A and B are shown apart, each in its own frame.
Chain A
Amino acid sequence: MKLHYYPGCTLKEKTPGLDISTREAMKRLDIELVEPEGWTCCGAEYPLTAEKISGLAAPIRVLRQVRDEGGDVIVTTCSFCYSVLKRSNKALQDDPLKRKRINAFLRDDIKIDPLTKERTTHFEDYNGEVQVLHLLEYLRDRVGFPRIRERLKRDLGNLPIAAYYGCRLLRPKDEMDFDEPDSPHLFEEFLEAVGCAAVDYPFKQECCGSYLVVSLPDAATEASYRVLRSAKMNGAEAITVTCPLCFYNLDHRQETIKATYLDFPGLPVVFFTQLLAWALGVDRSVLGLGEHRVPADGVFSGTPATEVRT
């Protein structure tokens, strides 16, 4: 079956590992991912003040395209994209004024087909028809964790992994409605479904420093260190993330973290889709491990793919 999938800007350039492993894993679950035609950046930040309404135009254009292609669900893996798409969608469902203003703005769109040069100038108003799901939600609700268990080809041997939620998946609760903001469990259920042991640790929903890594790197170093140390202290052999920015802060900046906090021994950072793809029998060469700064080979070693489970 076909499923609309929004990769977002970072996956295509900086973290192809998240994109490739998602595609490979979904292939093993008989799902073909389709990108909405002509998708653009979602804007990365949901506009929080009433007057910055123009920030809604980009995500709504993406969602309108999905609807016009006949889709009723779009999945994404990046936490920022998920947050922006979901909150914008909800804003259009709940707020008649925003709906009216954004649709009035998007009515001026012109789409030109690159091959036929055919111009489309008429677009139906978008009223929040598409459902925005994170891949974790999709796997739980539409695929089902029991079905994933049936398809497993590798036994990950209850490898202790720490699930890191970060900020955007969980909060604000009334808009994201992903899980309980202070005691989430969806990510842990996923880890157990793919054959890992979920490590419980108190920093799973704390912030990694997010975009402060650019404007105030020291604050991000400290915030990321607290997360990594907590996972390590509770016995994790790796930490798993959904967001390319969490990945950058925890993996690419781990050298800086180690240089600042000398007691920290290091911890591999992997994408949740890499674990899923690996457990489903995907070869290590297509997991996109090339961009990891902290070697994650230990996580993806041993166990040739076999029919290990029934």
Chain B
Amino acid sequence: MRVKLKSGRDQRKFIERIEELSGENVFACYQCGRCSAGCPVASEMDLLPNQIIRLVQMGLEEEVRRSKTLFLCASCFTCGSRCPKGIDMARVMEAVRHVLDPKGKDAYGPLDVSPELARELPQQVLVSVFRKFSK
């Protein structure tokens, strides 16, 4: 089956915004799957990293938005270091998180951490997780 890429104006806007924010060319991806093969959290994901890129290529914003993958990325940069086309997938993930749900609630915010846990955790992990997953 042939899928026409960049079909409508809205799709184009979504793709261009992702490319502008991430600085990556998402159309460079030819779906080899090395990013997903190396991903330490792939087993928890509903859509694999290469599938996210594919959906972005097709401008399917709603499908990307529904995936929980965006809030599973640990930014360990394994995907980017293995990509034969030099795409930094962690940047694409961050750009998608940035674009989606601009005024929505935190995917993971300060209210989700119990005071007992917060006392035990190293500071850097709280700063990191809120920077990644809250507004």
Chain A interface residues toward B at CB < 8 A: 8-10, 13-15, 41, 43-45, 48-52, 55, 78, 80, 166-167, 170-173, 181-182, 206-207, 209-216, 218-219, 222-223, 226, 244-245, 247-248, 252
Contact = CB atoms under 8 A, between A and B. Distances in A.
A215 B107 CA distance: 9
Contacts of B120: 252
Interface residues of B, number: 42
A2 to B, nearest CB: 26
Secondary structure call for the A interface: loop
Contact of A167 (B78, B94, B113): B78
Contact of A211 (B43, B44, B78, B125): B125
A51 B121 contact: no
Interface string B103-129: 000011000110001001111111111
A172 B80 contact: yes
B81 A181 contact: yes
A292 to B, nearest CB: 14
Contacts of A167: 74-78
Given A10-B124, A50-B23, A245-B122, 9 more contacts: A48-B95, A55-B131, A172-B77, A211-B125, A214-B121, A215-B107, A215-B108, A223-B74, A245-B125
B84 interface: no
B72 A49 contact: no
Q: Find the residue from B75, B108, B125 having the highest chain A CB count within 10 A.
A: B125
Nearest to A78: B124
Given A49-B91, A209-B40, A43 B77 contact: no
22 contacts: A13-B122, A13-B123, A14-B122, A15-B122, A44-B127, A45-B127, A45-B128, A45-B132, A50-B21, A50-B22, A167-B75, A167-B76, A171-B77, A206-B40, A207-B40, A209-B74, A210-B74, A212-B72, A216-B44, A226-B40, A248-B122, A252-B120
Given A207-B74, A209-B40, A219-B44, A171 B124 contact: no
Nearest to B108: A215
B124 A44 contact: yes
B124 A216 contact: no
A182 B122 contact: no
B98 interface: yes
B129 to A, nearest CB: 4
B53 interface: no
Q: Find the residue from A182, A206, A214 having the highest chain B CB count within 10 A.
A: A214
Contact of A10 (B20, B41, B112, B123): B123
Contacts of A173: 81
B125 A214 contact: yes
Q: Find the residue from A50, A170, A210, A244 having the highest chain B CB count within 10 A.
A: A210
B125 to A, nearest CB: 5
9 shortest A-B CB distances, which residue pairs?
A171-B77, A167-B76, A207-B76, A44-B127, A48-B94, A211-B128, A211-B129, A210-B74, A207-B40
B81 A171 contact: yes
B98 to A, nearest CB: 5
Given A171-B81, A181-B81, A219-B41, A9 B76 contact: no
Contacts of B113: 214
